[in-house]
Structure 1
Amino acid sequence: MANRIVLNTISYHGKGALENIVPELTGRGFHKAFVCSDPDLLKFGVTQKVTDLLDAAGFAYEIYSDIKANPTIENVQHGVAAFQASGADCIVAIGGGSSMDTAKAVGIIAENPEFADVRSLEGVAPTKNHATFTIAVPTTAGTAAEVTINYVITDVEKKRKFVCVDTHDIPEVAVIDPDMMATMPKGLTAATGMDALTHAIEGYITKGAWEMTDMFHLEAIRLISKYLRSSVAGEAEGREGMALAQYIAGQGFSNVGLGIVHSMAHSLGAVYDTPHGVANAILLPTVMEYNAPCTGEKYREIARAMGVEGVDAMTQDEYRKAACDAVKQLSADVGIPADLKEIAKDEDVQFLSESAFADACRPGNPRDTSVEEIAALYRKLL
């Protein structure tokens, strides 16, 4: 079976990348942008870094900010109605995964109105048309939603998140400018950075992994291990390194899938509104230990990419443990909690486990699992 790679048509990287937004819009003949950005980014002036450029160029836009940290069906439906009423002909998504996922869903439904219920987009939906032209501008170094074919929506009524996978949703243009990430607080920097590491590690060991995605994932692991600590400390070099690292991870995992770390994190987010990066970071080492028997020699390369010395002299058990320990240490160094004691409740474990097992990320896990085994992993962290 042939392997497939789907990436942005164009991506801009580094300081000053924002300057390409207006030329991309005007050069393509667009007239008005629908700017999707969350309330906090508007409040703290982050979104303004882009809207100032639109204002200076006299390019019309309308802002949509009815976006939650874990975007809901209602957020999307409100967004579709607002987009249709705005007269906009393109979308500029500014933010983390929440803003970009909302924008993806709005753009897809705008061009494929038969999916207006939103729930029918779950999994691999048979959309026929590409989403409304979108430029994605990340403000966090973690989700890589600007380069993926995935987005996640929360079904509040059913207390679950569902993953949508659609080649039609990828933004045509990604603008990755570390200046947009300069105001991230330490906690968010740490959480989104560990989300990126989870993408890289799960993508590297998933059943669908192959040579090209391995290349992306190992380089992402190396860069995250090198730059996350300094990024959390507020150093410019670290911010720039993480901006690139999370995008590289996205190039990989978007095309091969993830595993049960994400499945389990989605459940926690749906039930407790847990920040996605925090949930991933807490779960990752424990799930890595669980998956180790089904990963061949890959943990040796993870350990090597994370800077562990002497891996070639280690036994398989030793380098597998070394890889897990390196992840635990990085997580601790950036202030991520070590367990779920302050987040999850034992009485919810069965529901969480059933939801995680039903999640679209679960089949990609390198080790076949069950509801009971997932429940045991949750309880191990309680």
Structure 2
Amino acid sequence: MANRFVLNKISYHGKGAINHIVEEVKGRELKKAFVCSDPDLIKFNVTKKVTDLLEKFGFEYEIYSEIKANPTIENVQTGVEAFKKSEADYIIAIGGGSSIDTAKAIGIIATNPEFADVRSLEGVAPTKNDAVFTIAVPTTAGTAAEVTINYVITDVEKNRKFVCVDPHDIPLIAVIDPDMMSSMPKGLTAATGMDALTHAIEGYITKGAWELSDMFHLKAIELISKSLRGAVENTTEGREGMALGQYVAGMGFSNVGLGIVHSMAHPLGAFYDTPHGIANAIILPTVMEYNAESTGEKYREIARAMGVKNVDNMTQKEYREAAVNAVKKLSKDVGIASNLIGIVKEEDILALAQSAFDDACRPGNPKDTSVEEIAALYRELLK
């Protein structure tokens, strides 16, 4: 069976990359942008860095900002209606996963109206048409939503998140400019950075992994491990390294899937509105320990990519422990909690475990699991 790989048609990287938006809009003779961005980015003038460019060159735009940190079905439905009324002919998504995921869903429904029921997009939906032409501009170094074929929506009514996987939703253009990430506070930088590391590690050990995806994931682990501490301190080198590292991780995991770190993190966002990166960061080391026996020699390469010395002289048990410990140390260094105490309620564990088991990321986990084993992992994280 052949392996498929889907990436952006064009991506721009580095300081000042947002300036290339102008040439893309001009060259394609686009008329009006529907700008998706969340309220905080607008409040703190991050979105303005792009809209100022549009204004400078006389490009028309309309802003849509009814977007929550964990975007909801209602956010998407309201956005679809706003897009239709705007008469825009393209989308610019500015933000983290929240804004870009919302834009993906809006763009898909706008060109595939038979999927107006947002829930119908869950899993691998048989859409026929590419989404509205989209330029994605990430402001966080974590989700890599700008290069993935996935997006996640919260169903408030059913108290759950669901994952949509669709090659038609990928933004045609991604603009990864570290200057757009420079205003991220330390906590958000740490959380989104650990989300990116989770993508790289889960993508590397998932059942769908192969040589091409491994290449991306190992480089991403190396870049993130070198850069995240600096990014949290807002150094130029740290920001640039994280901007690239999270994108490279996205190039890989988008095409091979993830595992139960993500499937366990998703219900925490639905139940408690826990930030996705924090949930992943807390869960990752415990699930790495759980999965270790099903990963062959891969933890040795994870440890090596994270800067652990002398891994070739270690036993399998030693290099597996070294990989997990390197993740724990990085997480601690950037200020992430080590457990779910104060987040998860004991009485919710079975419901959380069932939701995690039903999640689209779970089948990719390298070790087959069960609702009961996932519940035990949640309980382990309450100690």
TM range (shorter): over 0.9
Query: What's the offset of the Cα at 1:150?
Result: 0.1
CA distance in 1, matches of 2:67, 2:10: 26
| 3-state secondary structure, aligned to 1:11 | strand
Query: What's the offset of the Cα at 1:240?
Result: 0.5
Query: What's the offset of the Cα at 1:22?
Result: 1.7
CA distance in 2, matches of 1:80, 1:194: 32
Matches within 5 A, 1:82-97: 82-97=82-97
Matches within 5 A, 1:366-377: 366-377=366-377
Unaligned residue ranges in structure 2 (runs of 5+) = none
- Is 1:100 paired with 2:100? yes
**Structure 2 match to 1:6:** 6
- 1:235-277 deviations in Å (ceiling 9; x for gaps): 1110010000000000000000000000000010000000000
Unaligned residue ranges in structure 1 (runs of 5+) = none
Code of the residue aligned with 2:80 in structure 1: it is V
Query: What's the offset of the Cα at 1:86?
Result: 0.2
Query: What's the offset of the Cα at 1:29?
Result: 1.7
**Structure 2 match to 1:72:** 72
CA distance in 2, matches of 1:241, 1:320: 26
Query: What's the offset of the Cα at 1:26?
Result: 1.8
- 1:86-144 deviations in Å (ceiling 9; x for gaps): 01000000000000000000000000001111000000000000000000000000000
**Structure 2 match to 1:44:** 44
CA distance in 1, matches of 2:206, 2:93: 29
**Structure 2 match to 1:31:** 31
**Structure 2 match to 1:54:** 54
Code of the residue aligned with 1:26 in structure 2: it is K
**Structure 2 match to 1:362:** 362
- Is 1:294 paired with 2:274? no
**Structure 1 match to 2:22:** 22
Matches within 5 A, 1:321-332: 321-332=321-332
- 1:203-233 deviations in Å (ceiling 9; x for gaps): 0000000000000000000001100001101
CA distance in 1, matches of 2:274, 2:106: 24
TM-score by length of 1: 1.00
Query: What's the offset of the Cα at 1:365?
Result: 0.2
Say what the alpha-carbon RMSD is for the aligned residues: 0.4
**Structure 2 match to 1:248:** 248
TM-score by length of 2: 0.99
Query: What's the offset of the Cα at 1:61?
Result: 0.3
- Is 1:274 paired with 2:263? no
| 3-state secondary structure, aligned to 2:46 | coil
**Structure 2 match to 1:131:** 131
Matches within 5 A, 1:158-307: 158-307=158-307
- Is 1:111 paired with 2:111? yes
| 3-state secondary structure, aligned to 2:124 | coil
| 3-state secondary structure, aligned to 2:67 | coil
| 3-state secondary structure, aligned to 1:300 | helix
- 1:156-213 deviations in Å (ceiling 9; x for gaps): 0000000000000000000000000000000000000000000000000000000000
CA distance in 1, matches of 2:373, 2:24: 49
CA distance in 1, matches of 2:22, 2:76: 25
Deviating above 3 A after TM superposition, structure 1's stretches of 4 or more consecutive aligned residues are none
What number of residue pairs does the alignment pair up? 382
- 1:250-309 deviations in Å (ceiling 9; x for gaps): 000000000000000001000000000000000000000000000000000000000001
